[in-house]
Amino acid sequence: MLLDASLEGARRVGRRRGPRGVRAGRAAPAPLLRPRPGQRGIVTCGGLCPGLNDVIRAIVMSLPPPLRVSRVIGFQYGYEGLVASFGHARLELTPARVSRIHEMGGTVLGSSRGNQDVGEMVDTLERERIDILFTIGGDGTLRGAHAIAEEVARRGAI
């Protein structure tokens, strides 16, 4: 959730003075992101590292009530899971399904490395009606997420 981090928002913070003239007080949340109800997707890419299942679990457990999510879909084996020709199954991630995955190593979704066709990945996101895709990984994963966002914008799907 994003909070109001503007200068005006900072001025609204409490009136108490802290060390070195810093003002401290209770922050009043002012959400800037108001996603519409819909389906969310999660993909893990790149090398394995501790905590991937923890991140997947945290996303799934925090989404349904506040964001009115109808489904959370896990795409298996990295960005390959977004390319239909690979034939990887999708997993519906429910709170019951992810409740204990933080006790396992690796990632329940699997992972892969390498570039995939961005157009095909966006086609899959449209076909599956994914409104928000959570990408978990390193710098290559973020480059891929950026390419997906650019393709979505190019198509005018935002």
Residue 131 makes CB contacts below 8 A (sequence gap 6+) with 35, 36, 38, 39, 40
The pLDDT of residue 32: 44
HSE-up of residue 87 (Cα within 13 Å, Cβ side) = 0
- pTM score, two decimals? 0.75
* pLDDT tens for each residue of the chain, 158 residues long: 334 455 565 555 544 454 444 444 554 444 444 556 778 999 999 998 889 999 999 999 987 565 567 889 999 999 999 999 999 999 999 999 999 999 998 899 999 998 999 999 999 999 999 989 999 999 999 999 999 999 999 998 65
